[in-house]
Amino acid sequence: MTQSAPHREYTDRVATGSLPYQSCDGCLSAVFPPRVICPFCGATDLSWRESAGLGTVYSASVIAPRDAEPYSVVLVDLDERFRIMSTVVDLPARDVRIGMRVRAGVDPDGPTGPRVVFTPEEREAAS
């Protein structure tokens, strides 16, 4: 079912600790970022799903502000077949690599509120 404010629904769900995305009831495509219309087939029947949070770094950059620690900006291809921009935490930015497997989590204290972040999958398994 289509919501009138899909971004609000997304941020509310992230705040509960999940990585939500939409699925088109018409063509079954994963839809991200949240929308009111499927970008693949034009259907308006989109359902919410929760990602398992596993993915692969597609692209990685290092941002090095003058007065702060460098941090990574990544595009991650999730196993559910959608892509998200975020950061990899608990790893020096220069060590983030394309092809690295990562696991999603939620940083409740992000700069603008709760946000999805990633950690290397190997580190998660070692915990």
Task: Let me know if residue 111 belongs to a domain.
Answer: yes
Angle, vertex CA 59, rays to CA 52 and CA 14, nearest 5: 35
In a domain, 114, yes or no: yes
Give SS3 for 39: coil
What range does the domain containing 100 cover?
A: 54-126
Per-residue tens of pLDDT for the chain, all 127 residues: 445 699 999 999 999 999 999 999 999 999 999 999 999 999 999 999 999 999 999 999 999 999 999 999 999 999 999 999 999 999 999 999 999 999 999 999 988 999 999 999 974 444 4
Which residue, among 65, 108, 105, has the nearest Cα to 86 in the 3D structure? 105
Check whether residue 59 and residue 116 sit in a common domain: yes
- What pTM value is reported for the model? 0.89
Does 1 map to a domain?
Answer: no
Residues 114 and 102 grouped into a single domain: yes
Name the domain count of the chain: 2
84 inside domain: yes
Q: Do 21 and 66 fall into the same domain?
A: no
**What are the structure tokens assigned to 57, written together?**
């770094």
Phi, psi of 5, rounded to the nearest 5 degrees: -135, 75
- CB-based contact 84:57 (threshold 8 Å): no
Residue 57: enclosing H or E segment and its boundaries?
Answer: strand 54-63
